[in-house]
Amino acid sequence: MPRIVSIFIVLFVLAGSPVARAQSYFTINEYGFTAGASQYFGDLNQNYGIKTIAPAYGGYLRRRMSNYIALKLVANYTNIGYDDKYNKVPYEVQRNLNFKSVVYEGAIQAEFNFFKFVTGDPYFRFTPYLTGGVGMFYYNPTTTYKGVQYDLKPLGTEGQNAGYDNRKYSNFAACFPIGAGVKYWIKGGINVSFEIADRITTTDYIDDVSTTYVGADKFKPASISNPSRALQDRSSEVTGGILGKAGKQRGNASNYDQYMMATFSISFNFKTYRCPQALNDDYIKTY
């Protein structure tokens, strides 16, 4: 949570910098805070289950380009995860994998209002909108084994430390928020909104699962200090047998992982006043 606060402070400072003030297209009209929920979809949740909804928080700075278009810088935090025990397909239940991961996200999104929207004007106080953008996020899949939490990436559960270099992945990936929402002006310079946006990503390893098993012989004997052999195939914990033979499907590499956020927000305009020259077109000038 402290990281998301730091990111938002940096965005706020940059928005008020001399360079930003010198360029009118960098002028920030309002700032806001969001709270809501998130859900992961991927190799461990291919049927779009909602068993692991988690809190999501964030903040943003918005620049209104017109009464119909706006841009916003966004910083979000959430904690996603899933467990095969929630699945209904017998093979997936037997696979018995699970993960949790923090997500720190920074993005720029465009908003396209369906109706004219003007803060301060009762005739144009509501609109649905579409949003789309691009960003980057940090993730770090973990799991718990015999009461100890482990970072999964260093363990190379799909053979990354045994010569399968093409399966190595970074803790950072790009994301593309796509969604829709509604905005409403309450009073003064205060707006509220509700938004649902899916994050299409460029990684299939948010959950540390993507392709095939490489076989237990590729790993050293499992121990508390090096549990990679035990964590690459956890089927024996529920069946007593071994599922993960070399080459057998472990995940679905044809689809990248995703996560969705549904958030409520409240935003505050910087000092506003109605320009006399603009009274006829209901425009609010903001500094």
Residue 7 reports pLDDT greater than 70? no
Q: Which residue has the higher pLDDT, 276 or 96?
A: 96
Indicate the domain borders of the chain. Answer: 2-286
Q: Quick one: pLDDT at residue 6?
A: 53
Q: Quick one: pLDDT at residue 272?
A: 52
The number of angstroms, rounded, from the C-alpha of 246 to the middle of its chain's C-alpha atoms is: 33
pTM (two decimals) = 0.85
Q: Where is average pLDDT lowest: 69-83, 158-172, 218-232?
A: 218-232
Q: Which two tokens stand for residue 287?
A: 């500094």
Residue 15 reports pLDDT greater than 80? no
Q: Quick one: pLDDT at residue 144?
A: 96
Residues 25-56: tens digit of each pLDDT: 557 899 999 999 999 999 999 999 999 999 99
Fold for the domain defined by 2-286:
Porin (2.40.160)
The one-letter amino acid code at 220 reads K
Q: Quick one: pLDDT at residue 36?
A: 98
Q: Over the Cα atoms of the chain, what is R_g?
A: 23
